[in-house]
């Protein structure tokens, strides 16, 4: 199939683009490069020996998006493009709603106008909010507690309503947990702009000497070692989940929700120690106050994805850290190395 991957030069987008190409799909990447580098796509082409079509375009450019669907024979869309920093979304809610929700509406209107009704949407475990018991299950009520998460919820609602109104739509809503790791080649990986918000890229930058030490946000949670637990998933397993979901909806019209997670919680200190094993020595850290808005623990119930898609995670936390470290060690300054 010819798949449009919005946000395809980003971290998860580039790994999914590589996996789509290796599965025999043709890929056209749309990205505005606000948070990523086109170098990732050059490396995906190098790794796969395949051509990656790229169009620098913002989903807010309504005419440009419509022209793309008018001129390119697109069969399906995997939609990653969006702003994704929780803290930033609290400071800049209107920017997040405009970029994420209005951009998605532009995409969906262009798809519908040109007869494209198949979409895999990059949602997030953050939609479950803090009120649900874990492990999280897809049928649970959702209710995020930050603007970023609410943009994901609103887009899920839009897609659900579209699917209910028009049976031509084939829609997968994928709720990611915590993606980490990198392609085993070490040629593509996570390259956050500025100071990393997320745990593993921050640890990786400590390991490569770009950051002085890890601040562990909270050592007094009601967890086995006092640090918060999350469900970490290797980005290659996540990419495989997207290809499996794309294949499933190509055979099943309707709206489907799947958690993409391991179903296992790992604490901050467990992740740090796993990364230290990959690096081969200890890394400096300090127990700091809790980060506002953080939950003590949550992880996925991934059984629906296994039952419907035959998909489950395959890689361990140690493999995630080994692959993440290989990328960071080989690219100390990311794609601008
Ligand atoms: C993980 C744990 C931190 C950094 C976020 C978004 C979520 C999704 C994934 C987009 C927490 C602790 C972190 C640090 C630390 N993104 N930590 N020191 O918060 O679970 O989820 O990223 O979809 O929407 O909310 O991930 O990696 O930021 O934090 O101690 O320097 O690591 O407190 O317990 P999180 P994270």
The reply to whether 266 falls in a domain is no
Report yes or no on 134 lying in a domain: yes
- Looking at the annotation, which residues are catalytic? 148
Probe target for ligand 1 pocket from 265, 271, 294, with the most ligand atoms within 8 Å of CB: 294
Complex prediction ipTM: 0.98
Q: Give the residue among 74, 75, 83, 13 at the shortest CA–CA distance from 43.
A: 13
Distances (CA, A) of 316 to 109, 185, 232, 233, 288: 40, 17, 9, 8, 27
- For the Cβ of 90 lying below 6 angstroms from any atom of ligand 1, the answer is no
The secondary structure of residue 281, as a DSSP letter, is S
What ranges make up the beta strands (E) of 71-213? 76-79, 118-124, 170-176, 178-180
Which CATH number fits the domain that encloses residue 57?
3.40.50.720
Count of the separate structural domains present in the chain: 1
pLDDT tens per residue, range 243-283: 999 999 999 999 999 999 999 999 999 999 999 999 999 99
Tell me what pLDDT residue 337 has: 74
Domain annotation covers residue 88:
yes
**pLDDT level of residue 76 (50, 70, 90 thresholds):** very high
Q: Which residue range forms the structural domain that includes residue 140?
A: 2-179+231-261+299-309
* pLDDT(87) > 80: yes
CA-based nearest residue to 314, from 262, 248, 254: 262
With a 6 Å cutoff on the Cβ, whether 83 touches ligand 1 is no
C-beta of residue 9 within 8 angstroms of C-beta of residue 229: no
pLDDT digits over 55-66, tens only? Answer: 999 999 999 999
219 in any annotated domain: no
Residue 269 in domain:
no
Rounded mean pLDDT, 87-99: 96
Q: Is residue 37 part of a domain?
A: yes
Predicted confidence band at 216 (pLDDT cuts at 50, 70, 90)?
A: very high
Mean pLDDT rounded to a whole number for the chain: 97
| Residue 155 domain flag | yes
Residue 245 lies in a domain: yes
> Average of pLDDT values for 93-102?
98
């Amino acid at each position: 199939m010819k798949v449009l991957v919005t946000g395809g030069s980003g971290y998860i987008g580039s790994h999914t683009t590589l996996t789509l190409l290796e599965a025999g799909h043709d890929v056209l990447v749309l990205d505005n490069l606000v948070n990523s580098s086109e170098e990732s796509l050059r490396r995906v082409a190098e790794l796969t020996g395949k051509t990656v079509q790229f169009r620098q375009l913002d989903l807010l450019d309504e005419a440009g998006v419509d022209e793309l669907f008018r001129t390119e024979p697109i069969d399906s869309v995997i939609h990653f493009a969006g702003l994704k920093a929780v803290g930033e979304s609290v400071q800049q809610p209107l920017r997040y709603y405009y970029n994420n929700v209005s951009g998605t509406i532009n995409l969906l209107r262009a798809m519908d106008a040109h007869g494209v009704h198949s979409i895999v949407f990059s949602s997030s475990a953050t939609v479950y909010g803090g009120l649900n018991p874990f492990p999280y299950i897809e049928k649970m009520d959702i209710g995020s507690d930050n603007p970023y998460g609410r943009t994901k919820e609103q887009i899920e609602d839009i897609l659900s309503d579209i699917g209910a109104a028009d049976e031509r739509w084939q829609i997968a809503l994928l709720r990611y947990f915590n993606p980490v790791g990198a392609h085993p080649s070490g040629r593509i990986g996570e390259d956050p702009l500025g100071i990393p918000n997320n745990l593993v890229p921050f640890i990786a930058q400590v390991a490569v000497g770009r950051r002085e030490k890890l601040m562990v946000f909270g050592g007094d949670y009601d967890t086995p070692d006092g640090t918060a637990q999350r469900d970490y998933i290797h980005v290659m397993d996540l990419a495989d989940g997207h290809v499996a979901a794309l294949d499933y909806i190509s055979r099943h019209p309707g709206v489907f929700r799947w958690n993409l997670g391991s179903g296992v919680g790992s604490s901050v200190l467990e992740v740090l120690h796993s990364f230290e094993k990959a690096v081969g020595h200890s890394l400096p850290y300090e127990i700091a106050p809790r980060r506002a808005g953080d939950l003590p623990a949550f992880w996925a119930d991934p059984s629906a994805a296994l039952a419907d898609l035959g998909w489950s995670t395959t890689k361990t936390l140690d493999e995630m850290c080994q692959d993440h470290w290989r990328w960071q060690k080989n690219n100390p300054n990311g794609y601008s190395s």
